[in-house]
Structure 1
Amino acid sequence: MPSSIEQVIGVDLGGTAIKLGRFNGAGELLAGLELPTPQPAMPGAVSVAIAEAIQQLDPERLAPRVGIGHPGPADRSGRVARVAINLPGWIDVPLADWLEPMLERQITLANDANCALVGEHWLGAAQGCSDVLLLTLGTGVGGAVYLDGKLFTGRGGAAPEPGLISINAEGPVCHSGNRGSLEQYCSAAGLRRLSPLDPAELVQRASAGEPESLAIWAEYGRLLGVGISSLVYQFTPERVLIGGGLGAASPYFLPAVWAQVQERVQAVSREGLEIQPCALGNGAGRLGAARLALGWR
Structure 2
Amino acid sequence: MKQQSVIGIDLGGTAIKLGQFLRDGTCLKFLTIATPQPSTPQTVLRTIVEAINQLEFHKTCHCHALGVGTPGPVDAQGRIAKAAINLSGWQDVPLANWLETETGLPTTIANDANCAGLGETWLGAGKNFKNLILLTLGTGVGGAIILDGRLFTGHLGAAGELGLITLDFDGPSCKSGNQGSLEQYASVQAIRRMTRKEPIELGQLAAKGNREALKFWEDYGYLLGAGLSSLIYILTPEAVIIGGGVSASAPYFFPATLLEIERRVLLSHREGLQLISAKLGNKAGMIGAAKLAWKKVDKLTS
On whether the aligned pair clears a TM of 0.5, the verdict is yes
Task: Summarize the Cα distance change of 1:173–1:241 in structure 2 as closer, same or farther, 3 Å threshold.
Answer: same
8 Å Cα contact 2:29-2:58 kept in structure 1: no
Aligned to 1:199: 199
1:33 to 27, 31, 34: 31
Shift of 1:180: 1.2
Q: Is the 8 A contact 1:114 1:143 kept in 2?
A: yes
Higher alpha-carbon deviation: 215-224 or 131-140:
215-224
Partner residue of 1:242?
242
Which stretch has the larger CA shift, 80-89 or 166-175?
80-89
| Equivalent residues in 2 for 1:205-216, closer than 5 Å | 205-216=205-216
Aligned residue number for residue 68 of structure 2: 68
For structure 1, the residue ranges without an aligned partner over 5 or more in a row are: none
Q: From the superposition, tell whether residues 12 and 249 of structure 1 become closer, same or farther in structure 2 (CA, over 3 Å).
A: farther
Aligned residues: 295
Contact 2:188 2:198 in 1 (8 A): no
Deviation at 1:185, TM superposition (A): 1.7
Alignment of 1:258-297 (within 5 A): 258-295=258-295
Q: Which residue of structure 2 aligns with residue 48 of structure 1?
A: 46
CA separation of 1:278/1:176 partners in 2, compared to 1, >3 Å: closer, same or farther? same
User: Cα offset for 1:40?
Assistant: 5.4
State the SS of the aligned residue for 2:3.
Answer: coil
For 1:10, which of 8, 11, 15 is the aligned residue?
Answer: 8
Counterpart residue type for residue 290 of structure 1: A
| Structure 2 portions without partners, runs of 5+ | none
Q: Which amino acid aligns with 2:4?
A: E
Q: Deviations over 1:107-128 (max 9, x none)?
A: 2101222212222222222223
TM-score by structure 1 length? 0.89
Instruction: Give 1:276 shift.
Output: 0.6
Distance 2:277 2:75 in 1: 29
Letter in 2 for 1:276: I
State which structure, 1 or 2, has the greater radius of gyration over its C-alpha atoms: 2
- Identify the residue that residue 119 of structure 1 maps to in structure 2: 119
Q: 1:169 to 1:45 in 2, by over 3 A?
A: farther
SS of structure 1 residue aligned to 2:204: helix
When the two chains are superposed, the root-mean-square deviation of aligned CA atoms in Å is 2.4
CA offsets, 1:102-152, max 9 Å, x none?
333322101222212222222222223221111111122111112233321
Deviation track 1:54-104 (CA, whole Å, cap 9, x = no partner) reads 333334574342211112232222111123455453332211122233333
The whole-number CA distance in structure 2 between the counterparts of 1:187 and 1:37 is: 23
Normalising by structure 2, report the TM-score. Answer: 0.88
Aligned match of 2:163 = 163
Contact 1:9 1:290 in 2 (8 A): yes
* Contact kept in structure 2, 1:130 and 1:148, CA below 8 Å: yes
Deviation per residue, 1:168-211 (Å, 9 max, x gap)? 11222211111111112212211211223333232222222222
Residue 239 of structure 1, CA deviation: 0.5
Structure 1 vs Structure 2: percent identity of aligned residues?
A: 53
Q: Distance in 1 between matches of 2:245 and 2:209?
A: 21
Matches within 5 A, 1:90-129: 90-129=90-129
Counterpart of 2:220? Answer: 220
C-alpha distance in 2, partners of 1:160/1:222?
22
Q: Which stretch shifts more, 262-271 or 234-243?
A: 262-271
Distance in structure 2 (CA, Å) of the matches to 1:18 and 1:27: 19
Which residue matches 1:78?
Answer: 78
Letter in 2 for 1:220: Y
Letter of the structure 2 residue corresponding to residue 104 of structure 1: G
CA 1:161 to 1:25, structure 2 compared with 1: closer, same or farther past 3 Å? same
Determine if contact 1:85/1:175 at 8 Å carries over to the other structure: no
